[in-house]
A and B are shown apart, each in its own frame.
Chain A
């Protein structure tokens, strides 16, 4: 595997936010999911910024998916903030970009509260999903909790329903593991 050239953070954030804007405009759920995955990988470059972008992309994909979010004014307010976010990214203003993303997430939270259907909000679900994905990719559980702000219980629960432990992690035979475990007991 050839070493990857260092990714230009500013260029990458601009690409990501433009792709999010276009995918949301085109109602392209699949594309938004792909951008979420791309941003997750970029968390290695800059965790706060690319986590915000991943969370935004994931949340917008869910909004396009669910009929209860179909509201013109709601879509419009998100579109306006997305344009602002793109502008900030063009200016290389990372802080304002993250601020604009937070504004969009606030708009979603407010809408969610008015139309409340679930106890756990869409944003919280997004945090859990991204945390579980990073955990599956190899970061430790407490590390992904720090990055995403998700709840440990929720991440464990979500991960338990995936095949992450079937894909990697069998390091010692069951026989040896049970033999080791027996050492804690009195004879």
Chain B
């Protein structure tokens, strides 16, 4: 009886922790974007935007592991890891928690909604954790440079066609799971690091480059692409014109 009560209290505490109110316009960051921003020396653009944001910049424990705890031990990545760690220590990021059942639901739907003669396993821990954190905290925005998860949310059928062409297989759809995933992610909007830099540019982030302001902005967008942000050349040129 006492144990039941304790478990109930623990559950309620966790629920209360989860209920820490985050503005829906906060963003949950994936490691892919933090890596591209840091590797290009553009993490400052995100940091600059923080006080102008309606909500918080959130990261999960898994992202901390991927961008700080593991790479800090490897000389080739340690400097980027230190820069992210410094931002974390100075309060740029809030830690986002999530419920295991949301995480499991994401993995179950994403990894079973497409199948050949067996389920097509698309997504793993990192992406599922980030999506669960956004959903459980009622946050609309995720910052992600990785292409597959973005396509899965924005245009799953296009992703299906792409995989069919690449692997030369016919992929079937489990309609139930497909619709469940669509419903789960219907309020999620994706931002890439390039959009963060575009917002920073509007807030005069590149003014420090004086007469090279425009060129610096263009170069920054290309640098992000070359460091792995999933954006096309055409989109970059459109973004520059916009």
Contact = CB atoms under 8 A, between A and B. Distances in A.
Nearest to B126: A142
Main secondary structure of the interface of A (DSSP, over half): helix
A156 interface: yes
B225 A165 contact: yes
A138 B148 contact: yes
Nearest to B238: A174
Given A157-B228, A160-B229, A181-B199, A152 B32 contact: yes
A137 B162 CA distance: 7
A117 interface: no
B154 interface: yes
A185 B26 CA distance: 9
B36 interface: yes
Nearest to B158: A171
B214 interface: no
Nearest to A156: B228
B198 A138 contact: no
B205 to A, nearest CB: 13
A158 to B, nearest CB: 8
B231 A165 contact: yes
Interface stretch (A2-10, A26-34, A66-74): A2-10
Contact of B166 (A137, A156, A174): A137
Contacts of A161: 226
Given A142-B124, A152-B32, A44 B167 contact: yes
Given A153-B39, A185-B49, A138 B162 contact: yes
A65 interface: no
Given A139-B122, A171-B158, A152 B150 contact: no
Interface residues of A, number: 47
Contacts of B198: 178, 181
B228 A181 contact: no
Interface in B33-83: 35-36, 39, 49, 52-55, 66, 71, 74, 76-77, 80
Interface string A145-187: 1100001110111011100111011111011011011111110
A110 interface: no
B109 interface: no
A184 B58 CA distance: 13
Question: Interface of chain B, helix or strand or loop or mixed?
Answer: helix
A127 B61 CA distance: 26
Contacts of A146: 124-125
A184 B141 contact: yes
Contacts of B39: 153, 157
B124 A153 contact: no
Contacts of B32: 141, 152, 156
Contacts of A151: 74, 77
B119 to A, nearest CB: 10
A178 B228 contact: no
Given A143-B123, A143-B148, 11 more contacts: A137-B166, A141-B32, A142-B124, A152-B35, A157-B227, A168-B147, A169-B230, A171-B150, A174-B242, A178-B198, A185-B52
29 contacts: A1-B168, A3-B170, A4-B170, A44-B120, A44-B167, A135-B147, A138-B159, A138-B166, A139-B148, A142-B124, A151-B74, A152-B31, A152-B66, A156-B32, A156-B35, A156-B145, A165-B225, A165-B232, A168-B151, A168-B162, A171-B155, A178-B198, A181-B198, A184-B25, A184-B27, A184-B53, A184-B54, A184-B199, A185-B49
Interface of B: 25-27, 31-32, 35-36, 39, 49, 52-55, 66, 71, 74, 76-77, 80, 116-117, 120-127, 140-141, 145-152, 154-155, 158-159, 162-164, 166-170, 189-192, 195-196, 198-199, 225-235, 238-239, 242
